[in-house]
A and B are shown apart, each in its own frame.
Chain A
């Protein structure tokens, strides 16, 4: 927060526009509303801080100053009801400050109630322009009683319904750093200087502790505004221990101090003016159009070599780029702005639920586009509520479990590439895997057999499924039907991703990754099916040229296309056919774009890569939103409109070929618990159920053969392979071989013989820790293990080798039936 005991005491009153000119009270009130809403948010969180640490003098000073400012401004604007409440609150705070009253949760609650009341009145003021009618005597007498040290039954204070959003939600504003505005012309008759006016304003607001050299002219300039009325209260209500005396150097005195306040008061570096968001949005649109026009010009100039425009155009282009960056910066806001309400929220929750909760916030200064900020505000609030309400155990339970009595909810934000990553973690009980599993089956989201085959993490992810809510007890604060699915939808709508990691008894961590801005991105322009599309460059890892003469060839496993890339199999999605623009052919697949979405990786097959361009993302009309493969559209340099592909949605279109990989950072605990080194595993599917895996080192070769080459004799299958007859076994006996197309085979070698396993589909080659968890008594399966976040059955190679050997033996010694029995 603001540093220094003597930080700027002035209401940051922007004189530039409204006061000197029209001086309309409406304008003043609008300014006041905006500012006060901001101050109140600060007061909310400061009070919570203060309650936790009543000896923190600086915090109290800050609260006191803010409330005092509100009171002062109310008096100045003739808002009697507000002033009375603020005054009573201030008096109580003054008693804290003087050390005459002990800080108790009851007292803080009472102050918070008065803040709520102020918000309520402000809300009315915003809607009607006048203070709403009402009587605050109940609250005021309680505040006074508390200030006098009498007992107060806090329950009688009516809980005030405060709107969820800041009261100025309709006219959001951002603050831009700027130098102090100065008038660069002589003052006209009747005008007063900014400094004088501010000084006068100060004096009017707090006459009793400011020495007051010349307030009069300015107050006259305010003729239309209600004059600051001399307050009937004696000086006692404003503690005289205020700064000027204590720190004569830092705060010289009076108007001079006020004029120099920002230079000397410890917040000298961040000066700001208010700019309406509409103006910024307008600026943004203009710059976006300018970027497009620049692109068009560049395109024209590229086609003409002798152009005298080339140099100035280059300059224009650079400037446009810089302008674009600067305007983008004005849209950036620290994520802390979305967290402001949380301390108060957690405090109230803590009281209501009887849990002790610490809220830790890290990286509040991490900046992101305010449009994105607005969109994640509600989901974040919801998740913090969830963590505090459902995640953390009641205090007694925690103590019984030997955990620290105070539960912890931690918010952390940091930048990573073009993204901001936000983690919300608690050290509570973790998700109840068994209950979620029951619920999945109960709701028919998956069958019991499927659920049994899933890893804990896969099961946990079902909390993001629509309509899924396990809250057995609906509390006032969460579990009101707005589930995690809504959170997920909100986050995915802005191109973000959400995942979670939960360890029973240790807590749950949600990780959200969202793009920093939605407005301008670099994109690759690609061609497919005779049409152009834009692919956001952030998700493109590399481009691979394929085709007949290229080093890399697209291969086919069953119907699925894969690319062998550095010994890994990359699943492919063909853009043209996916968009139903052309039928699948391998001839015109000339490029594979390796695309990374979250932890997934796949290849997007396109016919052509044409250009890279900075594009201004425009949302699609709502009539097109059901086409989920596009995230927007843009106008290219040549004036044509192209659609922007959504790599995330495309990866889903690619289906279950794409393995989800466990995120590294969030999974520390899991990684630690796993033993040994990472092992390369081949993942494949055979016979339905969970995917299967086998250590790569056991496999001699992967083969894809035409099904009709398989020879069948009395229910057994074999293949002519390198001059010998190689037996082919089926992983799941219930499923026959493929009747047509290509049959993928895993070839194993035993002592002097080879055998093959027929599988349905080869999925991927991955590296992960192999930690086999269960040993079911099924032949051919060693157990299950979580590999890259998925439960897989680990193949028992020895079992199949033995069966293969039995097949060989049988062929040579038909009586070797006992061997087969033994193997099976």
Chain B
């Protein structure tokens, strides 16, 4: 996804000289190509994320379109007040690209996990939040962010993620995207964990449970209408996220269900008010926290067996 981000930004920078890349000493080889080809549009701030975000607001006041990028955790947590006061309060046209979202930085532990970023950023007025799961979606997210006049947080992974859909529909941000159909249970998820959710749906099918899977790639503003539409006829609603279940996708959907009077029960699968345990590959860390395909399918099956959901 980082490559897709950089390739898309490379193309935008070529078309529009106001597009800038702001770096905090954290990137991949492709960043160096951008720097080589767009010296005037590449600004390195070093390991100083707050200063980078504040400066981005200043640049935006001149009509620049700065894309700040580093690991999600350094942006959402360390630079939070700069995102709030300088970018969101001022409604500055700054794009905040956080990579390594969720548990993608799986060998580095909780300091590098972004498992509360949606929680802290969701309540910021003026901020659009896009959360994508594949390189093609990342490309669309960066283009979408460029077109939005105002602050956008784009939550992406690292490199090497598989495509989820070979043919991505145009403008995936206009509705909640059904990526697998089913009738017994509806599963909402976001980010790179989607591939595990799809695998869990296969396991569920083997147990005779048909799951509809929705890829939520626009967290804010949330498509309430399409949520109501996709939930029609299904009362078992599940959310899966590499994020604390407090303040993340599950909380957002619970909130909308109550507000909109959508019936059914909600099972929130994610980190239950804890920091993720363990090291290894992203899959290893998912596994150790009940968030791999087996853990997800077992949680759903266990819930379906309880009397109120059977």
Chain A bound to chain B: no
A residues apposed to B, CB below 8 Å:
none
B residues apposed to A, CB below 8 Å:
none
